[in-house]
């Protein structure tokens, strides 16, 4: 099937997809949607940014529009991803749709959510923790759900939601269709699929450990004390929006304040912010009201903003698989982007684990020495050079790296004078 118009979809959905400029389905959509429309359970794996929301959103909306008895639930690991999924689904339903929906996420008004539930929504999107909070108040809210989507399931299990998911499943309709999507497929995902899916069709469109080809990756090895100086230099050399990943909530707040004072417009986002504050920060970033979004791994998944040009890993992720999700915030929908990694001697084990995921057929990399000695290390597998080496080549442009250099676009951001 070359277009969405070739699929067996309700006429109203075809019109909204055309209005949303959904023309040619992505590979994951081309494989998953026909199977889901046929009533099959689906176990899908695909790297981030490949159109998984459309892969389950289109058949979900088609099912609800075609049959008044169909009700659906989508579970996601984070509030941001849940809100993003809801926006996409509501767009597919169309502005004049009379189908009620409910967004059940932590940090949001409970009274507002209870009001949404009172209208008997046929589509519910939420996070496992808040869904369970509502089930404790009213155990029947999911009794009519017969279409279930588990999105970013590997992340939900990483975050410890397996108990909550099991509790939710006890309230579900016995004869349900289930679509499970995951960026990776470890053993615990396979066990969950065996438990809750019926003869699922397995689909995979790309190696789950492979970043998008249009992401230019650059790696700099340096001491910990060099990192902030190198960050300022990187921000000066690059144009466009940046997501800067930090290890902790406190370090994200401190860095955003520090960068703002240095003349780079920046704000932080992390799990300690109230939901309305997180929504305002993301909305402002989406409008390009500021340039640098300083984030913890809460933004590694579900942040779909096309204008992000650069991802900078100031701190290495605690879980190696999250590296793929972090850098997947750039180069969305076929655009080009760049990922810059700061690797210190103390990051040796983490970086070796990331290399093993990126190059599973290669021999495990040796652990980096515990302390830095002399010059700051050798070029990495991505051909990035050390910070010390880079300073010796001032006549050259930014560090060499794999992939072609993205064409420069005139940035709308201007460096402010230091406060």
Could you state, in order of their start, the residue ranges of all structural domains in the chain?
A: 4-204, 215-392
pLDDT above 60: residue 416: no
Q: Would you state the CATH architecture of domain 215-392?
A: 3-Layer(aba) Sandwich (3.40)
**Reported pTM:** 0.65
pLDDT in tens, 348-378: 999 998 998 888 766 654 444 444 433 344 4
Q: Is 312 helix (H, G, I), strand (E, B) or coil?
A: strand
For 4-204, which CATH superfamily applies? P-loop containing nucleotide triphosphate hydrolases (3.40.50.300)
The reported pLDDT for the residue numbered 209 is 57
The arithmetic mean of pLDDT across residues 238-256, rounded, is 96
pLDDT above 90: residue 279: no
pLDDT in tens, 44-76: 987 666 788 999 999 999 999 999 999 999 999
DSSP states along 326-392? HHTTSSGGG--EEEEEEE-GGGHHHHHHHHHHH-TTSPPPPPPPSS--SS-----TT----HHHHHH
Considering 183-192, 287-296, 325-334, the range whose residues carry the highest mean pLDDT is 287-296
pLDDT in tens, 179-200: 999 877 888 899 999 999 999 9
By DSSP bridging, strand 123-126 and strand 147-150 are unpaired
Which residues have CB under 8 Å from 280's CB, separation 6+? Answer: none
Q: Which two tokens stand for residue 212?
A: 């998008």
Q: Compute, in degrees rounded to 10, the torsion defined by CA atoms 118, 120, 122, 124.
A: 20
Are domains 4-204 and 215-392 of this chain identical in fold? Answer: yes
CB 311 within 8 A of CB 339: yes
Which residues have CB under 8 Å from 23's CB, separation 6+? Answer: 3, 4
Angle at 150 between CA 121 and CA 160, to 5 degrees: 110
Q: Which two tokens stand for residue 48?
A: 């981030």
DSSP-assigned beta bridge partners for residue 182: 45
Alpha-carbon span 73 to 400, nearest angstrom: 46
Sign of the CA dihedral running 240, 46, 157, 219: negative
Which residues have CB under 8 Å from 317's CB, separation 6+? Answer: 245, 297, 300, 323, 326, 350, 354
CB 172 within 8 A of CB 149: no
Specify the residue for token string 């004869």: 175
């Amino acid at each position: 099937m070359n277009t969405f118009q070739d699929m067996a979809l309700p006429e109203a959905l075809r019109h909204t997809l055309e209005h949303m400029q959904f023309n040619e389905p992505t590979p994951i959509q081309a494989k998953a949607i026909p199977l889901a429309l046929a009533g099959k359970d689906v176990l899908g794996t695909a790297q981030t940014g490949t159109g998984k929301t459309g892969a389950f959103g289109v058949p979900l909306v088609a099912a609800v529009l075609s049959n008044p008895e169909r009700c659906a639930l989508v579970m996601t690991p984070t509030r941001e991803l849940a809100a993003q999924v809801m926006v996409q689904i509501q767009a597919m339903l169309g502005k004049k749709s009379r189908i009620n929906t409910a967004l059940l996420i932590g940090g949001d008004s409970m009274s507002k959510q209870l009001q949404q539930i009172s209208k008997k929504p046929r589509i519910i999107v939420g996070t496992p923790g808040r869904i369970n909070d509502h089930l404790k108040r009213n155990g029947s809210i999911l009794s009519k759900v017969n279409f279930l989507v588990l999105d970013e399931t590997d992340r939900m299990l990483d975050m410890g939601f397996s108990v909550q998911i099991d509790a939710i499943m006890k309230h579900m309709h016995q004869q349900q269709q289930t679509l499970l999507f995951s960026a990776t497929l470890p053993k615990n995902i396979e066990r969950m699929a065996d438990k809750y899916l019926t003869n699922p069709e397995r689909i995979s469109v790309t190696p789950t450990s492979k970043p998008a080809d249009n992401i230019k990756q650059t790696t700099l090895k340096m001491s910990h004390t060099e990192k902030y100086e190198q960050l300022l230099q990187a921000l000066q050399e690059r144009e466009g929006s940046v997501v800067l990943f930090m290890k902790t909530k406190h370090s994200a707040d401190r860095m955003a304040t520090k960068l703002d004072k240095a003349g780079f417009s920046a704000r932080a986002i992390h799990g300690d912010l109230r939901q309305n504050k997180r929504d305002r920060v993301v909305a402002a970033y989406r409008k390009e009201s500021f340039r640098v979004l300083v984030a913890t791994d809460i933004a590694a998944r579900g942040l779909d903003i096309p204008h992000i040009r650069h991802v900078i890993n100031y701190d290495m992720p605690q879980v190696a698989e999250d590296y793929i999700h972090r850098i997947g915030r750039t180069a969305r929908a076929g655009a080009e982007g760049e990922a810059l990694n700061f690797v210190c001697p103390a990051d040796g084990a983490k970086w070796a684990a990331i290399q093993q995921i990126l190059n599973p057929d290669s021999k495990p990399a040796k652990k980096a020495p515990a302390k830095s000695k002399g010059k700051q290390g050798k070029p990495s597998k991505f051909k990035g050079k050390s910070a010390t080496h880079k300073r010796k080549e001032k006549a050259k442009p930014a560090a060499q790296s794999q992939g072609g250099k993205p064409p420069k676009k005139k940035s709308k951001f201007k460096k402010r004078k230091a406060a």
